[in-house]
Structure 1
Amino acid sequence: MMDLDFTHPIIQSFLFVTASAFVPLLLVSVTSFTRYVIVLSLLRTALGLQQTPPNIVVISLALFMSVFTMAPVYMDIKGESYDKYQDGMVSQEVAIDNGLSAFSEYLTSQTTEKDYYFVKGLSQDDSNSVDSILPNDLGTLIPAFMLTELKAAFQFAFVIFLPFVLIDLIVASVLMALGMIMLPPISISLPIKILVFVLIDGWTLLVGSLISGF
């Protein structure tokens, strides 16, 4: 059977349209988007703001942070797979293998061995006893990567919550000591938390810390 010519414009257009249907799934499952959007959403809760910034702002910020973070991975995959195939240096099969290898290297670097072994142990095959993360084992790497990202997101959010919880406790204690039990503590602590967050340039620190984690 004759191999498909992936350099043909019609085939490339078909592949692009097909791949675009999986973009939302890939965005959530194999990029840093999940960590970013969870941390940014929980930041609103820590500040006591339910809809500010709006969801569209949180998702857009997480999206562009993910694009910035994943750009080196994309360039590696493009250089090792697509560019070499376009130049005729490798065959289709080798180009696909190179792309998967570069992609699995990124997943491996961001996945803890504990999560990998946990997902691997859920399978029923005989290859569970492995000493290290297997290359190109995407069926195990992707769910393990998502577990690692969820854990990292909630650990990051816990650290964010601590100073704001402390402010809430201090404000509630002061109001109780003054006998102002009818005044909701959130009405006093909210502007204080926003002021502190602005003074420490919280958005810059948060975005920088999240991106540097990759």
Structure 2
Amino acid sequence: MPPNQVIIGLALFLTFFVMAPTLQEVNDNALQPLFNEEIGIEEAYDRASTPFKQFMAQHTRQEDLELFIKYNQAERPETVEEIPLTMLVPAFAL
């Protein structure tokens, strides 16, 4: 079995590789406009959360998301952007 440092390094490399398009979109659409004072912090948050929500929704089982929607006694969101992170993140983690 390889040492822990090798496993952690491989996990980080694969994470950055998989997340690169999402991180690039967040940088282009949220961070750079915020740093250039073109948008405010709330707009930057909305713009940054959308790509992450799309990524997580794509990689989350529908049953897991339904579990947290039911648990929170919430109505089913019509779009990915309407799913609260408080429901999407734990469903994604499962």
How does the TM-score come out when normalised to structure 2?
0.82
Residue type of the alignment partner of 2:24: M
Equivalent position of 1:130 in the other structure: 76
Tell me, in whole angstroms, the C-alpha distance in 1 between the residues paired with 2:78 and 2:46: 20
Identity of aligned residues (%): 27
Say if 2:38 is the partner of 1:89: yes
Tell me, in whole angstroms, the C-alpha distance in 1 between the residues paired with 2:6 and 2:46: 37
- The gaps in structure 2 that reach 5 residues or longer are none
* Contact 1:108-1:133 at 8 Å conserved across structures: no
Tell me, in whole angstroms, the C-alpha distance in 2 between the residues paired with 1:67 and 1:104: 17
Displacement of 1:134 after TM fit? 4.7
- The gaps in structure 1 that reach 5 residues or longer are 1-51, 148-214
CA RMSD of aligned residues (A): 1.9
**Could you list the per-position Cα deviations for residues 127-173 of structure 1 after superposition, in whole angstroms to 9, with x for gaps in the alignment?**
2x4165652511011111011xxxxxxxxxxxxxxxxxxxxxxxxxx
Rg larger for: 1
Displacement of 1:102 after TM fit? 2.1
Runs of 4 or more off by more than 3 Å in structure 1?
131-134
Say if 2:11 is the partner of 1:62: yes
Equivalent pairs counted in the alignment come to 93
Q: CA 1:104–1:80 in structure 2 vs 1: closer, same or farther (change >3 Å)?
A: same
